[in-house]
Chain A
């Protein structure tokens, strides 16, 4: 049965689309198709099991209430109603927005400046590049611990340094008005390296002929930067922006390690993902946690979609 079926299929394809010699076409077509799928199978199966299926499950769980050890019951939209009436969640939403709105633009602006500076021929270039890239290969937990000590208001280096100028430094990580911004500084510091490397590769892809032409026309370094470098970099900047936005929305480790649950500043600095962690794994309210995760997913989806639309306005491809 299968052989006749296959023959019929092969036949229709040949006659309708590609009128070519019979035997040569039908076999390779089938096996190309087969091998193609087999090659991507490991990745696709992995994606399906570890990404797609959990996502679907999370969406389902967001409509349930959880007891101990995976017992759950359907409660409809209850979690979402609670989410939008909970002042703590709204505060976390605000904190996340502040975090994103500051870290992404400032982080990218600094990364571009650093990348342009490190694109010149200066002594010790690789040393500088390594130094800037170092935070990227350091574990976030280690980064957070070191910064915690730097920020320590009684014994930390930063406030010691400030005291030389008789400034009494703030309580960096326990003052509710400042804690979030202290984390933002660390977040920017630790993302510069990654963004810089990508932007640097973009810079090196710009043909020198443009600059030579501009020099002949008498353009100064600033004009060159804004008229050539920035537009030519725009696809790279677009990529970096999307990636930074997504990771900024998901900030969690820095908040947990630097602020922590026993800190009175936690409510003023916790983000949505921190709140998700707390609901799902500390108080075992996994249904509510799932609802937070779904809302975050929707926010990131919308913002990424808007960006894809807007890119036509400002991203120049060669």
Chain B
């Protein structure tokens, strides 16, 4: 009896305390506050400008941008989703989209398209498809990225090699990488890093291979063409034109490129702003299209803005989402030069944002690009890729063996998804 009484009293006290703080934050203003979850601090200024622009039209809606670094973003988002406290509007990417949409965490946007607030024809089709699950579209494409060959003009000049251009193929790249390598100066021709989106996925598709079958049920890693796409990189580690896997673990390939230790690196369009702002690379860097293998291929991926299914401010969140997908918002992004905006026709402004680098390469690559492979639990087989292919990159096991082990493991993971 006494104990019960005591517990009741303390619970009451606790409620009192929390009620106080609740009413304070709730009744402070009649404004609705939306939370907007993003992961890239480089893009925060542009996002803030878009928010400011939005608030001019909708002074009654407050938008708070929450930046979580990419490494923790998905962990945090999943915890928030489990605890029903997702941000009202947030960034989504391809590898995670199916997981969130198939579990009813996202709000379909069909009522926006019905009311003509959003016209999906304004965005590249590949991106709209990326965010469509079972016939319903859940996100409005925000931006896209493709991969290019970044190179250091100074190191090319010193080695008397012409700059790479659209005529380059795999053999030309390998020959150039070998010539650019200078052991005495500690310079390597290329960084053959163990990286999927900006690395071996491109060469796998260039070699006619695939990573995952179209029905998302089978791994492509046991196909000889796929293995050929992996060998491309490992050969360059073997012949010394790239740093070893261990060296690239200790010093990141980007850091090597930014200090003139590596002459060429495959990297995403999102990195141009980083290389442009770096003190060393800013006047030495340029971009060329990826050298072709059996055919041209490039990995395209783009983010989308989505609304949480259980948001408490459905109307306001969708209003904001529509604005994020507008031409105006895309132009603000384009000017900042951070990422390629998804709204058709606004890309030109992005290309102009940095005249020192041939940014048109990234727009042109989109024509023959393949979407980033994904499935329901992408992170599971991405983890297998890291674990198993790392050993092949470290020359601990032959590529064929690694690829076949990976194919088996990945097939098992894919079977568990259904």
Interface residues of A (CB under 8 A from B): 2, 5, 30, 33-34, 37-38, 41, 45, 68-70, 148, 151-155, 171, 173-175, 260-264, 281-284
Q: With A68-B99, A264-B245, A283-B383 given, is the CB distance from A154 to B251 under 8 Å? A: yes
Q: Is B85 an interface residue (CB 8 A)?
A: no
Interface centre among A69, A171, A281 (most CB of B within 10 A): A69
Q: Would you give the shortest CB distance from A120 to chain B, in whole angstroms?
A: 41
B249, A262: Cβ atoms closer than 8 Å: yes
Q: Is B19 an interface residue (CB 8 A)?
A: no
Q: Is B260 an interface residue (CB 8 A)?
A: no
B6, A70: Cβ atoms closer than 8 Å: no
Nearest A residue (CB) for B383: A283
A260, B249: Cβ atoms closer than 8 Å: yes
Q: Is B396 an interface residue (CB 8 A)?
A: yes
**What are the residues of chain B within 8 A of A33 when measuring CB–CB?**
2
Surface stretch bound by A, among B75-83, B177-185, B334-342 = B75-83
A69, B390: Cβ atoms closer than 8 Å: no
Query: Which 4 pairs of residues, A with B, have the shortest CB-CB distance?
Result: A174-B246, A70-B82, A264-B394, A41-B10
Interface centre among B10, B103, B250 (most CB of A within 10 A): B250
The count of residues in chain B whose C-beta lies closer than 8 Å to any C-beta of chain A is: 30
A38, B78: Cβ atoms closer than 8 Å: no
B10, A38: Cβ atoms closer than 8 Å: yes
Q: Would you give the shortest CB distance from A37 to chain B, in whole angstroms?
A: 6
Q: Is B379 an interface residue (CB 8 A)?
A: yes
Q: With A45-B14, A154-B251, A262-B390 given, is the CB distance from A69 to B103 under 8 Å? A: yes
Q: With A45-B10, A282-B383, A284-B380 given, is the CB distance from A264 to B249 under 8 Å? A: yes
Nearest B residue (CB) for A151: B250
Nearest A residue (CB) for B9: A38
Taken residue by residue from 353 to 388, chain B's Cβ proximity to chain A (1 for < 8 Å, 0 otherwise) reads as 000000000000000000000000101100100100
Interface residues of B (CB under 8 A from A): 1-2, 6, 9-10, 14, 75, 78, 81-82, 99, 103, 105, 186, 194, 245-247, 249-251, 377, 379-380, 383, 386, 390-391, 394, 396
| Bound: A262/B2 CA distance, A | 58
A68, B251: Cβ atoms closer than 8 Å: no
Which one of A38, A152, A171, A260 lies within 8 Å of B6 (CB-CB)?
A38
Which one of B78, B246, B379, B380 lies within 8 Å of A171 (CB-CB)?
B246
B386, A171: Cβ atoms closer than 8 Å: no
**What are the residues of chain A within 8 A of B383 when measuring CB–CB?**
261, 282-283
Q: Would you give the shortest CB distance from B104 to chain A, in whole angstroms?
A: 9
**What are the residues of chain B within 8 A of A69 when measuring CB–CB?**
78, 81-82, 103, 105
Nearest A residue (CB) for B376: A68
B249, A263: Cβ atoms closer than 8 Å: yes
Q: Would you give the shortest CB distance from B301 to chain A, in whole angstroms?
A: 20
A–B complex contacts, Cβ < 8 Å, 26 sampled? A33-B2, A34-B2, A37-B6, A38-B10, A45-B10, A45-B14, A69-B78, A69-B105, A151-B250, A152-B250, A152-B251, A154-B251, A155-B251, A173-B250, A174-B246, A174-B249, A175-B246, A261-B383, A262-B386, A263-B390, A264-B249, A264-B391, A264-B394, A282-B379, A283-B380, A284-B379
Nearest B residue (CB) for A174: B246
Nearest A residue (CB) for B80: A69
Nearest B residue (CB) for A263: B249
| Bound: A229/B82 CA distance, A | 55
Beyond A45-B14, A69-B78, A281-B75: 17 further Cβ-contacts under 8 Å?
A38-B6, A38-B9, A38-B10, A68-B99, A68-B103, A69-B81, A69-B105, A152-B250, A153-B250, A173-B249, A174-B249, A261-B383, A262-B386, A264-B391, A282-B379, A283-B379, A284-B379
Nearest B residue (CB) for A282: B383
Which one of B6, B81, B386 lies within 8 Å of A34 (CB-CB)?
B6
| Bound: A68/B376 CA distance, A | 10
**What are the residues of chain A within 8 A of B396 when measuring CB–CB?**
264
**What are the residues of chain B within 8 A of A262 when measuring CB–CB?**
194, 249, 386, 390
A154, B247: Cβ atoms closer than 8 Å: yes
| Bound: A261/B249 CA distance, A | 10
A68, B78: Cβ atoms closer than 8 Å: yes
Q: Would you give the shortest CB distance from A11 to chain B, in whole angstroms?
A: 16
A2, B1: Cβ atoms closer than 8 Å: yes
Q: Would you give the shortest CB distance from B169 to chain A, in whole angstroms?
A: 29
Nearest B residue (CB) for A260: B249
| Bound: A38/B186 CA distance, A | 68
**What are the residues of chain B within 8 A of A148 when measuring CB–CB?**
250
Nearest B residue (CB) for A173: B250
| Bound: A318/B10 CA distance, A | 42
| Bound: A2/B103 CA distance, A | 52
**What are the residues of chain B within 8 A of A175 when measuring CB–CB?**
246
Q: Would you give the shortest CB distance from A150 to chain B, in whole angstroms?
A: 11
Q: Would you give the shortest CB distance from B85 to chain A, in whole angstroms?
A: 12
Q: With A171-B250, A283-B380, A284-B379 given, is the CB distance from A261 to B386 under 8 Å? A: yes
Q: Would you give the shortest CB distance from A175 to chain B, in whole angstroms?
A: 8
A264, B246: Cβ atoms closer than 8 Å: yes
Nearest B residue (CB) for A34: B6
| Bound: A284/B78 CA distance, A | 10
Nearest A residue (CB) for B82: A70
**What are the residues of chain A within 8 A of B103 when measuring CB–CB?**
68-69
Q: With A70-B82, A261-B386, A281-B75 given, is the CB distance from A174 to B1 under 8 Å? A: no
**What are the residues of chain A within 8 A of B247 when measuring CB–CB?**
153-154, 174
A284, B10: Cβ atoms closer than 8 Å: no
| Bound: A262/B251 CA distance, A | 12
Q: Would you give the shortest CB distance from A85 to chain B, in whole angstroms?
A: 16
| Bound: A284/B82 CA distance, A | 13
| Bound: A175/B379 CA distance, A | 27
Interface centre among A5, A148, A262 (most CB of B within 10 A): A262
Which one of B6, B105, B250 lies within 8 Å of A174 (CB-CB)?
B250
